């Protein structure tokens, strides 16, 4: 696959990064990424992934744009109130980069449909706002062997890690499902805090696709906006993990 002169200009500033180059750019163009949620995290990660030249983005969200989204979900504008987030997002992404094919899924992500939804993608970017959806993504990731970039944000803080089935812990190893059914409260979120985590997720996604070393594997990176620090926690596989544990299959 050859790039047009327009594409070479569009991607020039990343093409000249030695670890990317035209070979890396071709990998990006050939990638299909599932972004689960077009909210505070997905708004930003989608923008950067489309801008970077990911060939195919599959974006999923069941909601429509509400005024209460606009402090952080900056892919959606005031004129989009009431419009499905997938539709609003796809329009911006295709305007930003017409070389990026955007596929939309306007439905809730559940344990039942998740494998079918993500099965044709090579990478999962978690931009969900609830653990139930994340557990569905993680289960599909483990079952299908598709890497899963976890991200979460709360007020001024955030978390991110990259889970690669068979190599690293999975979400369940780190945050075991205790079966609690307490309905989640609506968390306060500062827009740029979501932006920090979503940008880190986009970097990880691009690194994984291109094959750049130093992924956030076996590490949980925590961002604290109040004191402006990052802290890193070592995480390891739980042999008794209900999803990926070795002992479970014995």
What kind and span of H or E run contains 148? strand 148-154
b/e sequence 140-149, b meaning 16+ C-beta within 10 Å: bbbebebbbb
Quick one: which of 145, 108, 115 has its CA closest to 130? 108
The secondary structure of 100-123 as a DSSP string is: SEEEEE-S---TTTHHHHHTT-SE
Give the Å distances, CA to CA, from 155 to 41, 147, 152: 13, 27, 10
Minimum gap (Å) between residue 145 Cβ and Zn ion: 13
Between 31 and 136, name the residue whose CB sits nearer to Zn ion: 136
**Which helix H or strand E contains 96, and what residues bound it?**
helix 85-96
Instruction: Find the distance separating the first CA and the last CA of the chain, reported in whole Å.
Output: 46
Structure tokens at 123: 């990478």
CB of 239 to Zn ion, least distance (A): 9
Stretch of residues binding Zn ion (CB under 5 A), selected from 13-21, 52-60, 85-93, 241-249: 241-249
What does the per-residue mask of binding to Zn ion show for 107-136, with x meaning CB under 5 A? ------------------------------
Residue whose CB is less far from Zn ion, 128 or 164: 164
Name which of residues 158 to 217 contact Zn ion (CB under 5 A).
170, 172-173
Between 123 and 170, name the residue whose CB sits nearer to Zn ion. 170
Query: Residues binding Zn ion: what is the number (CB under 5 A)?
Result: 6
- Which residue stretch of 15-23, 124-132, 193-201, 235-243 sits at the interface with Zn ion (rule: CB under 5 A)? 235-243
- Give the range of 64-72, 183-191, 208-216, 239-247 binding Zn ion by CB under 5 A: 239-247
Total length of the chain: 250
Q: How far is the CB of 151 from Zn ion (least distance, A)?
A: 18
Q: Please identify, using beta-carbon distances, which residue of 192 and 245 lies nearer to Zn ion.
A: 245
CA distance 211 to 235: 22
Nearest residue to 46 via CA among 113, 109, 102, 121: 102
Q: Which of 44, 137, 197, 241 binds Zn ion (CB under 5 A)?
A: 241
Compare residues 157 and 172 and give the one whose CB is closer to Zn ion: 172
Shortest CB 143 distance to Zn ion, Å: 12
Residues in the site for Zn ion, rule: CB under 5 A?
Answer: 170, 172-173, 241, 243-244
């Amino acid at each position: 696959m050859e790039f047009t002169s327009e594409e070479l200009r569009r991607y020039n500033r990343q093409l000249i990064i030695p670890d990317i180059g035209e070979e890396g750019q071709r990998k990006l163009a050939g990638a299909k990424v599932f972004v689960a949620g077009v909210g505070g995290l997905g708004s930003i990660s989608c923008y950067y992934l489309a801008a970077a030249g990911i060939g195919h983005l599959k974006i999923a969200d069941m909601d429509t744009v509400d005024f209460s989204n606009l402090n952080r979900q900056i892919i959606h504008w005031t004129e989009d109130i009431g419009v499905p987030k997938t539709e609003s997002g796809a329009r911006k992404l295709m305007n930003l980069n017409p070389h990026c094919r955007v596929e939309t899924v306007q439905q809730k992500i559940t344990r039942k449909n998740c494998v079918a939804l993500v099965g044709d993608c090579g990478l999962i970017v978690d931009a969900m706002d609830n653990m139930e959806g994340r557990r569905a993504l993680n289960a599909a990731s483990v079952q299908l062997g598709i890497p899963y970039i976890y991200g979460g944000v709360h007020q001024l803080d955030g978390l991110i890690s990259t889970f690669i089935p068979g190599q690293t812990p999975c979400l369940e190893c780190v945050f075991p499902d205790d079966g609690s059914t307490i309905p989640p409260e609506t968390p306060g979120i500062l827009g740029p805090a979501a932006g920090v985590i979503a940008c880190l997720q986009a970097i990880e996604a691009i690194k994984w696709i291109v094959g750049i070393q130093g992924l956030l594997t076996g590490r949980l990176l925590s961002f604290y906006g109040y004191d402006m620090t990052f802290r890193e926690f070592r995480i390891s596989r739980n042999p008794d993990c209900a999803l990926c544990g070795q002992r479970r299959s014995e």
